[in-house]
Amino acid sequence: MDFSSAAGPFRAGRCCAHGAHAAASGFPSSPERGVPNRARQARFGFGPDRRLSRRGEFERLLTHGTRRSFSGYTFYIERRGAGAPRLGILVSKRHSAKATERNGIKRCIREAFRLEQSRLEGIDVLIRPPLGARGSAAMLARVRELLGRVAP
């Protein structure tokens, strides 16, 4: 017996509702295609091209970057040619034993960088917050102010 015809539209693991929803929405099913206003979003975005993620990049900034400290925050800065600014964040367990608090600190720093990146053309910035810092609106405002000082 051949049951393949009985499976019908469920062979690929999708139901009829999925196809109907995709057709009704007018957008392709892939999230990479058809995103409206992509150019406007990229201006304030924080994609992979704006992040320092490799160990070598962090070590390069720590050894060869210009070190500046403002009110407990330490910035390691290195000028590149043209291009988008890139951010690295150093938050260890010494800042907080709880991962949720460390993530809150990183979230605030990323948001401040995202909002100020238009002034930071062509530089790599590595930020180490002071010990005992907590993610909050006040921290966000403070980091934005400090990034303004770092800007050329």
Q: What is the pTM of this model?
A: 0.68
Q: Mean pLDDT for the chain?
A: 77
- For residues 69 and 74, give the distance between their C-alpha atoms in angstroms, rounded to a whole number: 4
Q: What is the pLDDT of residues 84-133, one digit of tens each?
A: 888 999 999 999 999 999 999 999 999 999 898 888 888 999 999 999 88
Q: What pLDDT, on the 0 to 100 scale, is given for residue 44?
A: 64
State the residue for tokens 């990479």: 32
Angstrom distances, CA of residue 16 to CA of 6, 10, 13, 22: 14, 8, 10, 10
- For residues 48 and 31, give the distance between their C-alpha atoms in angstroms, rounded to a whole number: 16
Q: What pLDDT, on the 0 to 100 scale, is given for residue 141?
A: 93
Between 151 and 4, the higher pLDDT residue: 151
Q: What pLDDT, on the 0 to 100 scale, is given for residue 1?
A: 52
Reply yes or no on whether the pLDDT at 15 is more than 60: no
Reply yes or no on whether the pLDDT at 151 is more than 80: no
Cβ–Cβ under 8 Å, residues 127 and 90:
yes
Q: What is the pLDDT of residues 33-49, one digit of tens each?
A: 555 544 444 556 677 77
Question: In this structure, how many other beta carbons lie within 10 angstroms of the beta carbon of residue 115?
Answer: 15
